[in-house]
C-alpha cells in the first residue's frame, strides 16, 4: 500500500492509536499523510511524540489521550504545549503505566483493568469519566480494596512503523525496544504498518532472531514500505534521531510564520519521497 | 566545606557534589531493588550509592537494559555490562512489584509531599503545561519515592500544588492499607538542604542544610511552615573516594553543574 491508500481507509471522527514512544520509531510518513488529508475530528491515542504535536498543530486532532507527550531530547513536545495552553484540544492524560493497561484491556477485549495508579492523585480529577471498582476479594483485614478501572481504549485503527516486514504483514523490530506496538496492533479493529523495508518472508531471520518477530500478520491489515519513514524520530539500528531537524520543528511552535513555512514545505509535501527530498535539500544538511 | 575562607573547587566539594551525596544517601539500606533516579544529579547519586554502599541495587542504562557496571552520566556510547533486558514496558512490572525506588523532579511540592509535574494554573487550560502526570501516580502508591528540586524557592516549595501528580501523605492517609504501607517519600533534596517526613504528622521537616546555607535561608525560601528541629546539622560532605567517583568516573564532563543555575 501507499500512505495515501492507508488514509483512504480512514474517516474523520475515528480513534487512532499510534505506536512508537516519544520521538522514537513513530510512523511519521503515515502521520503526515493524515495531516495533509483533510481528515479531522480525530482522537489520537499514543505514548506521544511529534505524532501528537503535529496532529494538534494542524488541527487534525480533536482529542488526544496519552501517557506523556515528549520529544525525549526536548522533554515537553512544544506544539502539544501550545495546544494545551490554548485549550485547542480535548485531552485525557493517564499515568504512564495506567495507559499501558488501557491498551492491554482493549487487546484482551475486557472492559477494564484494575490498578492502584491514580489513587490519591489528580488523574481522577482530570478524567471525571474514570471510575473505581471494589475488589470482589477481601484483603487480609476483610476489606474490599478500591481500585481504578482503566477502560479499554477503543481504537478504530492503529498505525505502526517497523524496521522490517514481509508483504503479508509480519512485522519485525530490530531496535532495543518494541514499546507497545504489539498491543496497539491487537487493541485496534484494523492496523496499518509502515516499515523501512519489505523483505521476503524467508529473509526475516537474516537480521534478527525470531524474538524480534512480534507483530504477526494476524493483526495487520496493510503494509507500506517507507524508507526513513520514522524520520525525524529515531529508528535504530537503521538510523538515529535527526536532532537538528527536530530542533527546527520544535522552534516553529513559537513562531506562526515559521510553522506555516514548515507545514507547507514538509507536512504538505505530496508524498513521502517529496518530503525526504525537501529534508535532504536543506542547506548544508546531508541525509 | 573547608574551614578556610577561600574554597578551591579543584579540592573542596561544591554544592552539586554535596547534593549528589545527599541523593545517594536516599538509597542507603535499599538492597536489591531497581534504583531508578531521573535527572542528572539523582543519576549520579544513585550510581554513587551502588558503587559504594549499596552494591546489590540494579540500575538501567537510561535506555533499555540493566547495566551492572558503573556508567558515566549522559554517555550513550559507554560500554555496558548488560545483565538484563529492560524495555520500557517491563519497568511497570517492577513498579507494580514494589521493588523500586524512584527519584523524580517536582515543579511544585507541598508540606505533605504532594508533587506537581503536570501543569501550572488550571489544568483545563494551564498557564504553563509541564511534563504531565508521567509515572508519578503509579510510583507513589507502589514503592519508595524521593524528590530532587534544584531550584528551592517559594515557587517550588508551595503551600498548595496546582495539580497532584504524586500524592503526598495527607491524600494517601485516606487510601487502602496496601497503599499506606507501600507509599513512602524517603527524602527531598534541594540545592539548599535535605528534607524528610519522619514525624508523626508526616510533614516536611528539615534534616540538614548544605554547607554555607543557613536555616533561616531555607525557611525564607519555603512557601509553607517547615518543621525545623532545634539542631540542624550540615549535610554530609563527600568522602575522598566519593569525590573521585563523582569527578572522574560518574560525571567527568561536569554535566551536574548545569542543574545549578
pLDDT in tens, B183-199: 999 999 999 999 999 99
- Mean pLDDT, chain B, rounded, equals 95
What does the pLDDT average to over A95-107? 98
B59 touches B47 (CB < 8 A)? yes
Q: What is the mean pLDDT of chain A?
A: 97
Whole-number Å distance between alpha carbons of A6 and A34: 9
Q: How many CB atoms lie within 10 A of CB B174?
A: 11
The per-residue pLDDT for B76 is 87
Q: Return d(Cα A115, Cα B135) in angstroms, integer.
A: 13
Instruction: Label residue A57 left, alpha or beta by phi (over 0 means left) and psi (-120 to 50 means alpha).
Output: alpha
Q: Could you read off the pLDDT of A109-142 as tens digits, one per residue?
A: 999 999 999 999 999 999 999 999 999 999 999 9
pLDDT category of residue A285 using cuts at 50, 70 and 90: low
Per-residue confidence (pLDDT) for residue A284, from 0 to 100: 62
Report residue B3's pLDDT band, with 50, 70 and 90 as the boundaries.
very low
| B11 confidence band (pLDDT: 50, 70, 90) | confident
pLDDT for B123 beyond 90: yes
Q: Which residue from B126, B167, B178 is facing A84, i.e. has the nearest CB?
A: B126
Q: What average pLDDT score do residues A206-224 get?
A: 98
Q: What is the model's pLDDT at position A65?
A: 98
Distance from CA of B117 to the nearest CA of A (A): 11
* B245: nearest Cα among B17, B77, B58: B17
Pick from B179, B241, B202: nearest CA to B24: B241
Q: Please, what is the Cα angle at B43 between B128 and B126, to 5 degrees?
A: 10
Mean pLDDT of the region A249-260: 97
* Interface mutation vs chain B, best among A121, A180, A214, most B CBs within 10 Å: A121
pLDDT score at A287: 45
Residue in chain A lying closest to B168 (CA):
A120
| Contact yes or no for A24/A48 (Cβ under 8 A) | no
From B87, B96, B136, residue closest to A177, measured CB to CB: B87
Strands B100-105 and B108-109: unpaired
pLDDT at site B9: 65
Q: For B15-259, give the CATH class.
A: alpha beta
* pLDDT for residue B35 is more than 50: yes
| Whether the predicted pLDDT of B4 surpasses 60 | no
CB contact under 8 A, B141 and A116: yes
pLDDT at A233 over 90: yes
Query: Could you tell me the pLDDT band of residue B261, with boundaries at 50, 70 and 90?
Result: confident
Strand, helix or coil for residue B200: coil
The minimum CA-CA distance between A204 and chain B, rounded to whole Å, is 22
**Closest residue in chain A to residue B183, using alpha carbons only:** A120
Q: Which residues of A touch B134 (CB under 8 A)?
A: 67-68, 95-96
pLDDT higher than threshold 60 for residue B1: no
* Paired residues of B149 in beta bridges: B190
Instruction: Say whether B124 and A117 touch across the interface (CB within 8 A).
Output: no
> Which residue ranges make up each domain of chain B?
15-259
Cell of residue A50, nine digits = 511529534
pLDDT band at B6 (very low <50, low <70, confident <90, very high): low
Which fold does the domain A3-94+153-199+207-244 belong to in CATH? Glutaconate Coenzyme A-transferase (3.40.1080)
The partner residue sitting opposite B134, judged by closest CB among A68, A115, A177, is A68
pLDDT of residue B63: 86
**For residue B85, what pLDDT band results from cuts at 50, 70 and 90?**
very high
In chain A, the largest separation of any two C-alpha atoms, in whole Å, equals: 70
More confident residue, B106 or B261: B106
The verdict on A128 touching B (C-beta cutoff 8 Å) is: no
Amino acid at each position: 500500500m501507499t500512505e495515501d491508500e492507508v488514509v483512504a481507509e480512514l474517516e474523520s471522527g475515528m480513534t487512532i492509536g499510534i505506536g512508537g514512544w516519544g520521538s522514537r520509531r513513530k510512523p511519521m510518513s503515515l502521520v503526515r499523510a493524515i495531516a495533509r488529508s483533510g481528515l479531522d475530528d480525530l482522537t489520537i491515542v499514543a505514548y506521544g511524540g511529534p505524532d501528537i504535536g503535529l496532529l494538534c498543530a494542524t488541527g487534525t486532532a480533536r482529542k488526544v489521550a496519552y501517557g506523556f507527550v515528549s520529544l525525549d531530547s526536548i522533554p515537553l513536545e512544544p506544539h502539544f504545549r501550545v495546544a494545551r495552553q490554548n485549550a485547542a484540544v480535548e485531552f485525557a492524560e493517564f499515568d504512564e503505566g495506567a495507559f499501558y493497561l488501557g491498551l492491554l484491556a482493549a487487546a484482551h477485549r475486557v472492559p477494564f483493568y484494575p490498578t492502584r495508579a491514580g489513587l490519591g492523585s489528580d488523574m481522577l480529577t482530570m478524567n471525571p469519566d474514570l471510575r473505581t471498582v471494589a475488589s470482589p476479594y477481601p484483603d487480609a483485614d476483610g476489606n474490599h480494596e478500591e481500585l481504578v478501572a482503566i477502560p479499554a481504549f477503543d481504537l478504530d485503527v492503529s498505525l505502526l512503523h517497523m524496521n522490517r516486514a514481509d508483504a503479508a504483514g509480519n512485522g519485525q523490530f530490530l531496535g532495543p525496544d518494541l514499546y507497545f506496538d504489539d498491543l496497539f496492533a491487537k487493541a485496534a479493529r484494523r492496523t496499518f504498518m509502515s516499515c523501512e523495508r519489505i523483505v521476503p518472508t524467508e529473509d526475516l531471520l537474516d537480521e534478527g532472531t525470531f524474538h524480534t518477530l512480534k507483530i504477526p500478520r494476524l493483526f495487520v491489515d496493510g503494509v507500506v514500505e517507507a524508507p526513513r519513514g520514522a524520520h525525524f524520530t529515531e529508528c535504530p539500528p537503521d538510523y538515529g534521531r535527526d536532532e537538528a531537524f527536530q530542533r527546527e520543528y520544535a522552534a516553529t511552535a513559537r513562531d506562526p510564520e515559521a510553522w506555516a513555512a514548515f507545514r507547507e514545505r514538509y507536512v504538505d509535501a505530496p508524498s513521502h519521497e517529496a518530503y525526504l527530498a525537501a529534508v535532504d535539500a536543506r542547506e548544508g544538511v546531508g541525509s | 566545606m573547608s574551614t578556610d575562607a577561600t574554597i578551591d573547587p579543584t579540592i573542596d566539594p561544591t554544592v552539586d557534589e554535596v547534593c549528589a551525596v545527599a541523593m545517594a544517601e536516599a538509597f542507603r539500606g535499599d538492597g536489591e531493588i531497581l534504583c531508578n533516579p531521573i535527572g542528572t544529579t539523582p543519576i549520579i547519586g544513585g550510581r554513587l550509592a551502588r558503587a559504594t554502599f549499596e552494591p546489590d541495587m540494579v540500575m538501567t542504562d537510561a535506555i533499555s537494559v540493566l547495566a551492572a557496571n558503573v556508567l558515566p552520566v549522559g554517555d550513550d556510547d559507554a560500554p555496558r555490562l548488560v545483565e538484563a533486558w529492560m524495555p520500557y514496558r517491563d519497568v511497570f512490572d517492577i513498579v507494580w512489584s514494589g521493588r523500586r525506588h524512584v527519584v523524580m523532579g517536582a515543579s511544585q511540592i507541598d508540606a505533605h509531599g504532594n508533587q506537581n509535574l503536570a501543569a501550572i494554573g488550571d489544568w483545563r487550560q494551564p498557564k504553563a503545561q509541564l511534563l504531565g502526570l508521567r509515572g508519578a501516580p503509579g510510583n507513589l502508591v507502589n514503592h519508595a519515592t524521593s524528590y530532587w528540586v534544584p531550584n528551592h524557592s517559594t515557587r517550588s516549595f508551595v503551600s498548595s500544588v496546582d495539580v497532584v501528580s504524586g500524592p503526598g501523605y495527607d491524600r494517601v492517609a485516606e487510601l487502602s492499607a496496601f497503599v499506606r504501607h507501600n507509599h513512602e517519600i524517603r527524602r527531598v533534596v534541594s540545592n539548599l538542604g535535605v528534607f524528610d517526613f519522619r514525624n508523626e504528622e508526616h510533614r516536611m521537616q528539615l534534616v540538614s542544610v548544605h554547607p554555607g546555607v543557613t536555616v533561616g535561608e531555607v525557611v525564607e525560601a519555603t512557601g509553607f511552615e517547615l518543621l525545623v528541629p532545634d539542631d540542624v546539622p550540615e549535610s554530609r560532605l563527600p568522602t575522598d573516594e566519593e569525590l573521585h567517583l563523582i569527578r572522574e568516573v560518574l560525571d567527568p564532563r561536569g554535566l551536574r553543574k548545569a542543574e545549578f543555575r
